[in-house]
Structure 1
Amino acid sequence: MTDDSFLINPKILLAEDDNDMRRFLAKALQNAGYAVTSFDNGLAAYNRLREEPFELLLTDIVMPEMDGIELARRATELDPEIKVMFITGFAAVALNPDNHAPRQAKILSKPFHLRDLVNEVQRLLAA
Structure 2
Amino acid sequence: MKRSRRKDLKQELNLTNMIDIVFAILIVFILCAPLMSQGVKVNLPQVKAPTMEQQKLLKVSITKNLEIFIADMQVDMESFESIFKSLWNGEMAVVINSDEAVSYGFVMKVVTQVQKLGVTKLGFLTMTPKDELVNGKK
Q: TM-score, normalised by structure 2?
A: 0.34
Structure (1 or 2) with the greater strand fraction? 1
Structure (1 or 2) with the greater helix fraction? 1
Q: Which structure would you say has the larger RCO, counting Cα contacts within 8 Å and 6 or more residues apart?
A: 2
Q: TM-score, normalised by structure 1?
A: 0.36
